[in-house]
Amino acid sequence: MNDPVAHAKTYPFPVPGRSYVFRKGQPVDLLPDDFDRNGRTPVLAAGSNQSHEQLARKYSVLPGHVEIPVQKGVLNDFDSVYAAHLAGYGSVPSTFYPSAGTRVTTYVLWLDDSQLNRMHETERNYTYDRLGAITVEIDDDGEVLGEAFAYTAKVGCVNHSGSPVALREIEAEGRALPSMLQAEMLDFVRSRLAPETNLDDFIRAHIEDESLRRSRTAALSEDALILEFPRTVLGDY
């Protein structure tokens, strides 16, 4: 998408809706012989890392052929909510938040060491965590993962009248939290930080000006809700 403002509104970006292999920049069907876990780490995607389009942008800098098995599933007792910061591409990104009884759609990225290091480079606003004692149910074969890894927003999540806000674009069963579309969340943030500015100009300004983006993130995070759930922080990049 050539228009960066329109692109920002489409977060978390298109997903295939099934398990897939990210291969040569495209999603292709995941076949049994495509999937060797040796040397790979299961990383849960809360938002745009579910999307083959986002993976293509992130991994275009790596030399050679990048291939990533990606399994679709559900993460129990969590939801995907809006983090209290602004991404360089203009969107309000996501993070996991505990939510008893909710089963949120996620994608498990099986990353080798070089792919994981590259992912760390793109997640500067997050800690890299081990999540133990969780339940991730894989769509294809009913397999259950009891441990995986994820990125957690350092500043917490957006506070909307005392509650986190789930991403309506990401499906969830038993959702207990209020939800918004990305465009609605961007407009909510605009109403707080620059109420006299129209939405497109608001988005364009913090895409083009990193210092403005940082100051807006600082303001948005002043009343952010802290992310408290059992996890082991492994890295802060």
Look at residue 105 in the predicted model and tell me its pLDDT.
98
145-169 pLDDT, tens digit per residue, is 999 999 999 999 999 999 999 999 9
235 belongs to a structural domain: no
Look at residue 154 in the predicted model and tell me its pLDDT.
97
230 belongs to a structural domain: no
Helix (H/G/I), strand (E/B), else coil: 223: helix
Look at residue 36 in the predicted model and tell me its pLDDT.
87
95-120 pLDDT, tens digit per residue, is 999 999 999 999 999 999 999 999 99
Domain count, the chain: 1
40-94 pLDDT, tens digit per residue, is 999 999 999 999 999 999 999 887 779 999 999 999 999 999 999 999 999 999 9
Q: Return mean pLDDT, the chain.
A: 96
CB 159 within 8 A of CB 84: yes
Look at residue 1 in the predicted model and tell me its pLDDT.
62
Query: pTM of the predicted model, to two decimals?
Result: 0.96
48 belongs to a structural domain: yes
234 belongs to a structural domain: no
19 belongs to a structural domain: yes
Look at residue 63 in the predicted model and tell me its pLDDT.
78
- Return the CATH number at 18: 3.10.490.10
232 belongs to a structural domain: no
Question: Is the dihedral angle over the CA atoms 56, 62, 66, 72 positive or is it negative?
Answer: negative
How far is residue 114's CA from residue 117's CA, in Å, rounded to a whole number? 5
Q: Tell me the HSE value of 85 on the side-chain side, using a 13 A CA sphere.
A: 18
72 belongs to a structural domain: yes
11 belongs to a structural domain: yes
pLDDT band at 237 (very low <50, low <70, confident <90, very high): confident
Helix (H/G/I), strand (E/B), else coil: 11: coil
Domain that holds residue 15: 4-223
Mean pLDDT of 18-27: 94
Among 96, 161, 160, smallest CA distance to 131 is for: 96
